[in-house]
Each structure stands twice: as structure tokens, then as C-alpha cells.
Amino acid sequence: MAPLTVAGTVRVPGDKSISHRALILAALADGESVIRDVLVAEDTASTAYALRALGNDAPPLGSEMRIHGTGVRDLRAPESPLDCGNSGTTVRLLAGVVAGHPFSTTFTGDESLSRRPMRRIAEPLTAMGARISFAKDDGLPMTVQGGNLQHIAWTSEVASAQVKSAILLAGLVAGVPVSVREPRPSRDHTERMLRALGMEVTRSRDGVTKLTPGASLDPFELTVPGDASSAAFFIALAALAARGTVTLPGVCIDPARTGFLRAVRRMGAKIRVSGKTEATGEEIGTVSAGPGALRAISVKPGEIPAMIDELPLLACVAARAEGETVVRGAAELRVKESDRIAAIVDNLRGLGADAEAFDDGFAVRGSDKPLRGTVRTYGDHRIAMSFGVLGCGHGNEIRIDDRDCVAVSYPAFWADLKKVVA
Ligand code: S3P
């Protein structure tokens, strides 16, 4: 097989995190919002479905959606449990929203989502005045009985945008001030959007995000920028190539999301960001990526939140970099769509690469030997796409056991990948 050459432009789909938030905030606004380029995928479909079950008349996901919001406290009790599929963001953000409504909502999900920790949001929402019960010790099914919530100043043990956003949305719906201290800054899309819509949201130097909500939320127009996490797959592909460039226009370049871009640049790949603009509080740019001689890096715990979803991909790039790449302080990977530390290390080893697992991270020692075998995705979209990229590398023959699981965040992934591999 010839060395990998890449060429072309990929317009990656709308950002998943921003799409969820846009749908939710549009449903809570007073009037009609227009959302363009929302991510059309299973996870965002779960949020739109849940909002419909809560009384909003959201249309099917599409490139231009008009959503009629009826106000911050006007959702209705759902008739049956809300099945959130694979989507952690749907459950955790909507738990905050329904906690401020005077009815009971039960959340369910697929096998992976049902195992994921929910007490991290139940604790602050309970402290605000909601009553939350679990069918098991943690995870789903979870029932939230909402009511009159009180203000809160919460300290979260984990750097989690979902925890922070659940609290901010509960504060917004209940009309009470809230603040959240996090150990390291997590992605800040909720804050950016709320601020762009005129709400007072501050962040102090010592890591406290504070919302002082207004009485109502104005409707808005928003074009969702391209997903930085989806763009990362093509950046990695270009980094692993022997020659060529991939161009990714219209990508969200919020520093809270571009840790992977900085990491592969440090490894030696050629990455350029141009044409920076701003819209509805988000920074957007064109990213172009090309190969370089890849060297191993050490990722510090402080860098983790800005590349949390890209760590499986970083491990795949590290398998082709000279030296030992070490990632620590990433225990959160254990509770993602799969146990991503186990999925990364077991799969890399199964393919013939040299990798080691830690409780809170992994080490990968790169080589140029051919990597061959079948990857077990555990139904995890990011494992499928990360190893799909590695499989394009020179000499590798990698089969993915469940290619279809990419539908969670990027249904056209395999087609887009094919377009840029010359
Ligand atoms: C997300 C936050 C992150 C991330 C997830 C999306 C969000 O999760 O891993 O894919 O949209 O808020 P945590 O909040 O658990 O870190």
C-alpha cells in the first residue's frame, strides 16, 4: 500500500455541545428562534425528542430549524420516561431544566448511558431543592421531581461542563443566582450562549462561574459552528499522512475545545488556523492540517478538559509518534460512553502497538510497525472514529467491529473520511 496522502476540504457537522444547548435554550426562550447547521445525529435527536416530550413543538432536526420557545418555566410534564439514548449531555442538561419545573421526569437511556454517573448532577440539584431518586445506586433510570429551587454556590469535584451546565440551567429556569467552582475550566458553551443572550455570567480567576439570571430569555438566531471534536479526526489523519493538507472551514476554535489541536501541533504536525471570526459568542476559524515528523508528548492534567473527547484519538496518533506519550489526570475517561482507558489500551495492544493503562490515563510508545486486527468499539463512536483514522495509516489493516455507532455524533464520518484519503 502506498504511503497515505490526504487532500481536500471537509465541512464537519455542527458542534454537538453547542447544538444541544441551542435546542434547549430555544425551547426556553420567549418566542421563535432560528438555528442553522444544527448537528443532525442521534445524540441531538435525543435532545429534540426529549424537548417534544416536555411540550415543545420542535421540528425534526434540519439545516434550518425554527423553534417556538414558550418561556423559561413553561415546559409540561412528560407522559412517559424520556429515553435519552446514548446522550449524556441530554440527560444532564435537561435534568437541570426540569429540576426547576413543578413535575416529575424519569430519564432512561441505552446500556452505556444507564451506567454513567448521575449523582454528580443529582447532588447539586438536590441541594437546590429538587428531589431525585435512582432505580439503582447511580446512573439511569433517574427520576427528578422538580419544584421551587433555591440559589446555590456549588463546588464540583470534577471538571465537567455537563455538571456546570445542569446547575446554570436550573438557576436560569428557577430565576435564582447560582455559582459553580470547578477544579479546572471545562468547556464554556452554556456561559457563552447565555452571555450572548444578555444574561449576566461571570467567571472569576479562581474558577468560579456565576449566573445572575434575568426574568426571561430572548429568542435568537444562531449558526452552529463546525464541531472541533469532529474536526480533530481529520487533523489527526493529516498528521499521520506522508503528504498533503486537509482544510476544515467554519470550525469552533474556542480554546476550551482546541486542546487536541495544540497537542498535535506540539507533536510536530503542521496546523494553521486562519480567518478567525466570532458569532453568538463563539470563535470560529478555518483549520488546515498537514504532516510533520511526530514526536511523543506528555499531557498535563490541566490540559485534559480541553481535549477530553479527543484522548482516544491522541492515543492513536501517539502510536505513530517517536517516543512515549503519557496522559495522566484523565480518570474521567473511565466514565465516558465506554471505559475509554481500557478501550484505547486493549485495542492498541490487540493491534500490536505498545500501550499501558493507568487508573487515570495511559502511555503509548510509538512505532512504525504495521498495526493489524479488529477493534472492539463497545458501541463508542469516538473509539470507532479514532481507530478508523489510524486504520488509514501506511501499512495498517484495521477492522472496526461496529462502524455504525458513529451515527451518535457524525453519521457521514466514513464518507467524509473517504473523500480526503487520496
Ligand atoms: C460535554 C461535556 C463533556 C464531554 C461531552 C460533551 C458537553 O462531558 O465529554 O462529550 O456538551 O457539555 P463532561 O461534562 O462529563 O466532562
CA pair distance 397, 373, nearest whole angstrom: 7
pLDDT of amino acid 142:
98
Rounded Cα distance between 254 and 83, Å, is: 31
Counting ligand 1 atoms within 8 A of each CB, the residue from 19, 119, 162 with the most, and so the one to mutate, is: 162
- Whether 182 and 229 share a structural domain: no
- State whether 315 and 208 are in the same domain: no
Kindly tell me if the per-residue pLDDT of 132 is higher than 80: yes
How far is 125 from 143, CA to CA, in rounded Å? 12
- 158 & 259 share domain: no
pLDDT band at 83 (very low <50, low <70, confident <90, very high): very high
Which DSSP state fits 247? E
What is the extent of the structural domain holding 389? Answer: 5-14+225-420
For ligand 1, whether the C-beta of 19 sits within 6 Å is no
Q: Which of 205, 223, 241 finishes a domain?
A: 223
User: Cβ(309) to ligand 1 under 6 A?
Assistant: yes
State whether 216 and 259 are in the same domain: no
Q: What's the pLDDT band for 53 if we cut at 50, 70, 90?
A: very high
Verify that 59 and 92 share a domain, yes or no: yes
Domain boundary among 201, 223, 245: 223
The helix/strand count (H/E) of the chain reads as 13, 21
Averaged pLDDT for residues 149-164: 98
Residues 233 and 284 in one domain: yes
Amino acid 100: pLDDT: 98
Distance (angstroms) between ligand 1 centre and the Cα of 89 equals 7
Going from the C-alpha of 60 to that of each of 75, 182, 228, the distances in angstroms are 19, 35, 24
Q: Is 208 in the same domain as 256?
A: no
pLDDT value of position 2: 79
The model's confidence at residue 422, banded by pLDDT at 50, 70 and 90, is confident
Residue 335 CA: nearest ligand 1 atom is 15
What's the pLDDT tens digit per position in 169-228?
Answer: 999 999 999 999 999 999 999 999 999 999 999 999 999 999 999 999 999 999 999 999
pLDDT of residue 1: 65
- Of 223, 239, 266, which residue is a domain's last? 223
Ligand 1 atom nearest residue 159's Cα = 16
Please state the rounded mean pLDDT for residues 262-281.
96
Same domain, 264 and 340: yes
**Which of 128, 127, 123, 122 is CA-nearest to residue 107?**
122
The answer to whether residues 40 and 26 belong to one domain is yes
* Count of domains forming the chain: 2
137 CB contacts (<8 Å, ≥6 apart)? none
Q: What is the pLDDT of residue 280?
A: 82
161 Cβ below 6 A of ligand 1: yes
**Amino acid code (one letter) for 236:** A
User: Which tens digits make up the pLDDT trace of 334-361?
Assistant: 999 999 999 999 999 999 999 999 999 9
Q: What is the CATH number of the domain that holds 75?
A: 3.65.10.10
Same domain, 286 and 314: yes
Find out whether the beta carbon of 89 lies less than 6 Å from any atom of ligand 1: yes
Residue 228: per-residue pLDDT: 98
Domain identity same for 40 and 116: yes
- Residue of 186, 260, 337, 383 to test ligand 1 pocket, by largest number of atoms within 8 Å of CB: 186
Examine the residue annotation and report whether 309 is marked as an active-site residue of this protein: yes
Which ligand 1 atom sits nearest the alpha carbon of residue 165?
12
Decide the pairing of beta strands 5-9 and 243-252.
parallel
CA separation, residue 64 to residues 19, 168, 414 (Å): 12, 27, 24
Residue with cell 467567571: 203
Share of the chain above pLDDT 70, in %: 100
Which pLDDT band holds residue 248 (cuts at 50, 70, 90)?
Answer: very high
Burial of 418 (0-12, 13-18, 19+ CB in 10 A): exposed
**Are residues 230 and 188 part of one domain?**
no
CA of residue 161 to ligand 1 center, whole Å: 6
- Mutation test of ligand 1: which of 25, 42, 89, 191 has the most ligand atoms closer than 8 Å to its C-beta? 89
Ligand 1 atom at minimal distance to the Cα of residue 186: 16
Average pLDDT over residues 118-137: 97
* pLDDT confidence bin for 68, thresholds 50/70/90: very high
pLDDT of 104 over the 80 cut: yes
Report pLDDT digits (tens) over 367-416: 999 999 999 999 999 999 999 999 999 999 999 999 999 999 999 999 99
